[in-house]
């Protein structure tokens, strides 16, 4: 089980501050939902965690150790809304997953044939984990449906054995029917594998289903955070109340409580 801690993250694009001095703890093996209006800085914060945004200051700690000081592969993986952005269109999806695999046996000295067989078995294992027939590994991303591609993007992220997964609107481009399946899968894998997750979403119903804590962003700052039940049922900040009032079912649940 792993934890993620952000300390004083500030991101600037030129003179514009997109994220300002954000502190956030995602406790071991739990899921924090990151919500907020469009342009509030959610994606920028997610990207800052993996070094894809121009971070002015701040520290990212995984299990108490600063990420930049760790050696080897990043312990944090990011999955985007657009699965095309996570997968190389020219590579077969099997090759994309293989590229992310985090080493392991057999070692470099083993014969090439043996190494290839072990790698293929690992790729098949990750594709099966996300419910994709390993035979589809030979296809390129454009030969898969959106839901299948998003599953492959998830398999690729998981193949890197992340301590932390950042999921940025990963189901918003999908059909509602497929969204449920991908979210169920994500919840099951998160519980089984025990990674910490920052789940960025506009959908408060999904956040309620998936997240232990909720953090609310506005204008680049975190304005409210707490256990999901408390934040959604007894919001303290006007921005949180606004977000909730836009979701009829949640607003009703709040009135009833
Ligand atoms: N590469 C960039 N260059 C300049 N400004 C940027 C860049 N990326 C994001 N911004 C700005 O930073 C702010 C936060 O953007 P961000 O994408 O993080 O918002 P968001 O909360 O993810 O929004 P959404 O819910 O629409 O995805 C916005 O004002 C955006 O215009
Ligand atoms: Mg975004």
Q: pLDDT tens across 87-146, in order? A: 899 999 999 999 999 765 566 677 888 888 999 999 999 999 999 999 999 999 999 998
Structural domain includes residue 62: yes
- Please give the pLDDT value at position 81: 83
Atom of ligand 1 lying closest to residue 14 CA: 4
- Please give the pLDDT value at position 252: 54
Return the ∠ at Cα 19 (arms to 13 and 21), rounded to 5°. 125
- Please give the pLDDT value at position 235: 97
Structural domain includes residue 81: no
- Please give the pLDDT value at position 57: 95
Helix axes 93-100, 112-129, angle to 10 degrees: 100
Mean pLDDT across the stretch 73-78? 88
Mean pLDDT across the stretch 234-253? 84
27 and 15 assigned to the same domain: yes
Query: Which residues are found with C-beta within 5 Å of the ion, ligand 2?
Result: 43
Atom of ligand 1 lying closest to residue 169 CA: 27
Structural domain includes residue 30: yes
Contact 196, 27 (CB under 8 A): yes
- Confidence category of residue 254, pLDDT binned at 50, 70, 90: low
d(CA 199, CA 66): 21
Structural domain includes residue 36: yes
Task: Indicate the residue among 127, 142, 161 that finishes a domain.
Answer: 161
Task: Indicate the residue among 139, 161, 183 that finishes a domain.
Answer: 161
Q: Measure 41 CA to ligand 2 centroid, in angstroms.
A: 7
Q: Measure 42 CA to ligand 2 centroid, in angstroms.
A: 6
Please tell me the residue having the least CA distance from ligand 1 atom 12. 18
Structural domain includes residue 130: yes
196 and 208 assigned to the same domain: yes
Task: Indicate the residue among 129, 161, 193 that finishes a domain.
Answer: 161
More confident residue, 116 or 25: 25
Query: pTM surpassing 0.75?
Result: yes
Task: Point out the ligand nearest to the CA of residue 47.
Answer: 1
- Please give the pLDDT value at position 257: 52
Please tell me the residue having the least CA distance from ligand 1 atom 8. 44
pLDDT at 3 over 80: yes
Task: Indicate the top mutation candidate among 14, 39, 78, 243 to test ligand 1's pocket, ranked by most ligand atoms within 8 A of CB.
Answer: 39
More confident residue, 249 or 134: 134
231 and 192 assigned to the same domain: yes
CATH number of 227's domain:
3.40.50.300
Residue 85, beta-bridge partner list: none
Pocket of ligand 1 (CB under 6 A): 13, 18, 36, 38-44
d(CA 26, CA 166): 11
217 and 149 assigned to the same domain: no
- 225-235 pLDDT tens trace: 999 999 999 99
Q: Which domain holds residue 196?
A: 1-75+165-257
What average pLDDT does the structure give for the chain? 90
190 and 150 assigned to the same domain: no
Structural domain includes residue 13: yes
pLDDT at 208 over 70: yes
Atom of ligand 1 lying closest to residue 45 CA: 18
Structural domain includes residue 127: yes
pLDDT at 165 over 70: yes
Sequence-distant (≥ 6) Cβ neighbours of residue 133 within 8 angstroms: 127
Task: List strand residue ranges (DSSP E) for 106-237, in order.
Answer: 164-168, 196-200, 213-218, 221-227
Please tell me the residue having the least CA distance from ligand 1 atom 6. 13
56 and 175 assigned to the same domain: yes
182 and 115 assigned to the same domain: no
Q: For the chain, how many structural domains are there in total?
A: 2
Task: Point out the ligand nearest to the CA of residue 203.
Answer: 1
Span of 71-85, 137-151, 192-206 with lowest mean pLDDT: 71-85
């Amino acid at each position: 089980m792993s934890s993620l801690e952000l300390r004083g993250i500030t991101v600037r694009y030129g003179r514009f501050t997109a994220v300002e001095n954000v502190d956030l703890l995602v406790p071991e093996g739990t899921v924090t939902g990151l919500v907020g209006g469009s342009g509030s800085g959610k994606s920028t914060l997610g990207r800052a965690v993996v070094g894809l945004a121009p971070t002015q200051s701040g520290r990212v700690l995984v299990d108490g150790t600063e990420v930049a000081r760790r050696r080897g592969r990043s312990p944090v993986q990011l999955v985007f809304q657009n699965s095309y952005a996570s997968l190389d269109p020219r590579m077969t999806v099997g090759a994309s997953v293989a590229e992310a695999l985090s080493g392991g046996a057999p070692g470099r000295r083993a014969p090439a044939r043996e190494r290839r067989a072990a790698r293929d078995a690992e790729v098949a294992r990750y594709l099966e984990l996300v419910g994709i027939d390993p035979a589809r590994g030979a296809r390129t991303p454009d030969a898969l449906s959106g839901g299948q591609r998003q599953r492959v993007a998830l398999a690729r992220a998981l193949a890197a054995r992340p301590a932390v997964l950042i999921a940025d609107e990963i189901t918003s481009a999908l059909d509602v029917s497929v969204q449920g399946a991908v979210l169920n899968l994500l919840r099951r894998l998160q519980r089984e594998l025990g990674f910490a997750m920052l789940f960025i979403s506009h959908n408060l119903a999904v956040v309620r289903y998936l997240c232990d804590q909720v953090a609310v962003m506005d204008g680049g700052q975190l304005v409210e955070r707490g256990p999901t039940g408390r934040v959604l049922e007894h919001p303290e900040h006007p921005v949180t109340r606004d977000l909730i009032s836009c979701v009829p079912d949640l607003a009703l649940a709040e009135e009833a409580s």
